[in-house]
Amino acid sequence: MKELDIFPLELHRAGLSMGGKRVLKDIDCQIGARPQKTFVIGPNGAGKSLFLKLCHGLLQAEEGTVHWGGVAGKDARLAQAMVFQRPVMLRRSALGNIDYALRLRGIARAERRDRTEALLKRTGLGHLAKVSARALSFGEQQRLALARALAFTPLVLFLDEPTASLDPAAAHLVEDIIEEAAVDGTKVIMSSHDLGQAQRMADEVIFLHRGRIKEFRIASDFFAAPKNDLARDFLEGKPLWWRRRSIYRNGGAK
Amino acid sequence: MDAFAAAFAAAGDLILSADAGLVEIIALSLEVSLIAVGLSALIGMPLGGLIALATFPGRRAIIVVFNALMGLPPVVVGLVVYLLLSRSGPFGVLDLLFTPTAMIVAQVILVLPIIVSLTRQILEFLWIDYRETLRSFGATRIQCLATLLWDGRFMLVTALLAGFGRAIAEVGAVMIVGGNIDHLTRVMTTAIALEASKGELALALGLGLILLAISLVLNVLAQSLRSLGETWSLA
């Protein structure tokens, strides 16, 4: 899959509504193959997951456009993979989960076996290959979901807060696998509200707030001196203005 | 009370001696019901799955119709199939009336809505869980359906059991389209009705006990299979 060039990802005035509410608004950005790791950060409800799903093609823009370097939607989707915050395990063994996903893409049996074995080993799940995927711990399931996504040898790997529910050790293992994938040339687009993780891993940052991109910069510049007031408040751990208003109204801490 | 006990004793004798007439009736009952459930599953499971996955105008109406059809009165189905298969009916030329095939047709009509509705419910629930992951894999709609049917197989046993329960216990439709002809279309339920009306309680009770036992054994087997599958896959 790595020979196909689908970059850049271009969103032009893209918007999305859900239940009559506009959840993504006027999204304008261009994401290239480099730098390797783009982080999407922002407070809860900012639209991070929706942004990733829109880019991956799981959601269709109601306004504006989303284009992958001129490559048709279906071809572009097949060059990508996504890992969700809550891993969905098929009712099969760990090995069966990867093998079946590859079978859906028409990969030959020998190739499937090689990729599956290699990825289970790489993610430290080799000894659990025959165990039911749903019997694995949450951390192991998330690593399996990553292995399953990487089995497609994607050009782009979308990660929707993959470590949000993991303990530090499990999160560290997942981060290592992501770093390895990036070193191997996979473009990583990951959402997170773990600022420490974003500072450690991100090459560039998209800061989202209430469905709009407020800042899109190289990570080191963003974390050193964010230009946007909301981004600055977010990095300093302050309640953002619309939250502050509701807290004051309810007589909470000032 | 003595007559009741005597009937039970006679029923026991019939079962233990594997009475040829009894065995023939049981075999035909199982054959008709299992074929009807099998055919209904072949049609109903993919159909239920498609309704679960698809979004199209009128989907809700179709769901309501299938749910309503789960309570179809068997005698009405029997009457309609009778009219369709009778010599003056549109399918009279097939000469199927008063044959086991006619009984299978009637049972398929009764069982199909149950399997479609339960399959739709089960797979719709699973689809909520799987939708984004399978779409992210690039799975086609047919691949999604096949995945859901396979991964939901242990839950779908419930749909098959409900269908089999409806088929094996049904009397009205098979009586009308089968005619309860000895050695040809007599099944357990029609035989029980006939023997009871004649006052031959031994055979009626024997068949009744066997009918209960078959339902019980099949349910135990299905539940064991389901539990085994769920233990393995933690479904």
pLDDT tens digit sequence for A30-74: 999 999 999 999 999 999 999 999 999 999 999 999 999 878 777
Contact yes or no for B132 and A134 at CB 8 A: no
Chain A residues in contact with B134 (beta carbon < 8 A)? 104
Which pLDDT score is estimated for A93?
94
Which 138-177 residues of chain B touch chain A by CB within 8 A?
138-139, 143, 147, 151
Chain B residues in contact with A134 (beta carbon < 8 A)? 233-235
pLDDT interval class at B13 (50, 70, 90) = confident
Q: What is the mean pLDDT of residues A130-135?
A: 93
Measured in degrees and rounded to the nearest 5, phi and psi for residue B99 equal -125, 160
Residue of B125, B133, B157 best to disrupt the A interface, most CBs of A under 10 A: B133
Measure in Å the smallest separation between the Cα of B13 and chain A Cα atoms.
47
Residue of A49, A85, A90, A95 best to disrupt the B interface, most CBs of B under 10 A: A90
pLDDT interval class at B229 (50, 70, 90) = confident
Nearest CA in chain A to B135: A58
Contact yes or no for B235 and A91 at CB 8 A: yes
Among the residue ranges A173-177, A215-219, A234-238, the one predicted with the least confidence is: A234-238
CA-nearest of A187, A242, A149 to A68 is: A187
Cα distances (angstroms) measured from residue A88 to each of A123, A195, B43, B129: 17, 26, 29, 7
Residue of A91, A107, A153 best to disrupt the B interface, most CBs of B under 10 A: A91
Chain pair A-B, CB pairs under 8 angstroms = 46
Contact yes or no for A56 and B130 at CB 8 A: no
- Give the domain ranges of chain A: 9-249
Fold of A9-249: Rossmann fold (3.40.50)
Q: Choose the closest CB to A104 out of B137, B232, B233.
A: B137
Token representation of residue A67: 């284009």
Q: What is the mean pLDDT of residues A104-130?
A: 96
Nearest CA in chain A to B132: A58
Contact yes or no for A91 and B139 at CB 8 A: no
Measure in Å the smallest separation between the Cα of A99 and chain B Cα atoms.
12
Which pLDDT score is estimated for A193?
83
Residue with tokens 């199927």: B96
Which pLDDT score is estimated for A254?
43
Instruction: Say yes or no to pLDDT of A134 above 50.
Output: yes
Q: Starting at the edge strand that comes first in sequence, how are the strands of the sheet with A212-218 ordered? A: A80-83, A156-160, A187-192, A37-41, A204-209, A212-218
pLDDT interval class at B180 (50, 70, 90) = very high
Measure in Å the smallest separation between the Cα of B41 and chain A Cα atoms.
21
Cα distances (angstroms) measured from residue A219 to each of A38, A88, A206, B71: 9, 31, 9, 63
Beta-ladder partners of B45: none
Q: Does B55 contact chain A (CB < 8 Å)? A: no
Q: Which residues of A220-239 are buried (b: 16+ CB within 10 A; e: fewer)?
A: eebbeebebebbebbbeeeb
Task: Render B56-104 in DSSP notation, one character per residue.
Answer: -TTHHHHHHHHHHHTT--HHHHHHHHHHHHSTTSTTGGG--TTSHHHHH
Supply the pTM of this predicted model: 0.86
Chain A residues in contact with B143 (beta carbon < 8 A)? 104
Which pLDDT score is estimated for B235?
45
Architecture of domain B2-233: Orthogonal Bundle (1.10)
Nearest CA in chain A to B152: A91
User: Is A133 within 8 Å of A97 (Cβ atoms)?
Assistant: yes
Contact yes or no for A100 and B147 at CB 8 A: yes
pLDDT interval class at A244 (50, 70, 90) = low
Instruction: Say yes or no to pLDDT of A76 above 80.
Output: yes
CA-nearest of A190, A125, A130 to A160 is: A190
pLDDT tens digit sequence for B189-224: 999 999 999 988 887 888 888 889 888 998 888 888
- Give the domain ranges of chain B: 2-233
